[in-house]
Copies of this chain bind each other. A is one copy, B any other.
Amino acid sequence: MSEPLSKTRLRLWLRLLKTTHGIEAELRRRLRERHGTTLPRFDVLAALARFPDGLRMSELSDLLRVSNGNVTGIVDRLSEDGLAERIAVPGDRRATRARLTEAGRAAFADLAAAHEAWIDELLEGVDADAAEAMTRLLKGAATQGGRAHAQ
């Protein structure tokens, strides 16, 4: 009566997709409706927040697995909004690094708090033990890939 393991894994995969894409869609909706922003922009803010000294466009692009052109466009708009700034890279006249301004750090802190609260709500069916068990299982599961939301 037991199904082949490949079928069991396929069902898990379809469920992973459904859950992840469902939550992502809800995050996109809330970021847009409640904060007038987008998931790719949130991802760029989050990356810059992790690197106070700033990141080159190529580093940001690698980190988020998003094209250079896309991250450059997002950083340009963040700069226009006063949330990021570009600084020169010593010894390389053509390169710049992007980093958050103080306003950018404050804006990201607000968004990050909202994001954490939303995830807490969207995963309310998962208690601490289940969350830890799943995190551990997923770590051992698969690929070391990973990719930000921005396309």
Is A87 engaged at the interface, CB distance under 8 Å to the other chain?
Answer: no
Q: How many copies does the complex hold?
A: 2
Contact digits for A26-42, partner B, Cβ 8 Å, 1 yes 0 no = 10000000000000000
Within 8 A of B (CB), among A30-63: none
Residues on the B chain within 8 Å of A19, using CB: 16, 138, 141-143, 146
> For the side of the interface on A, what is the size category?
35 or more
Report Cα–Cα, A134/B13, bound state, in Å. Answer: 10
Binds B, one of A74-82, A94-102, A103-111, A125-133: A125-133
Check B151–A22 contact: CB distance below 8 A: no
**CB-CB nearest 4 A-B residue pairs:** A22-B145, A21-B147, A18-B146, A6-B120
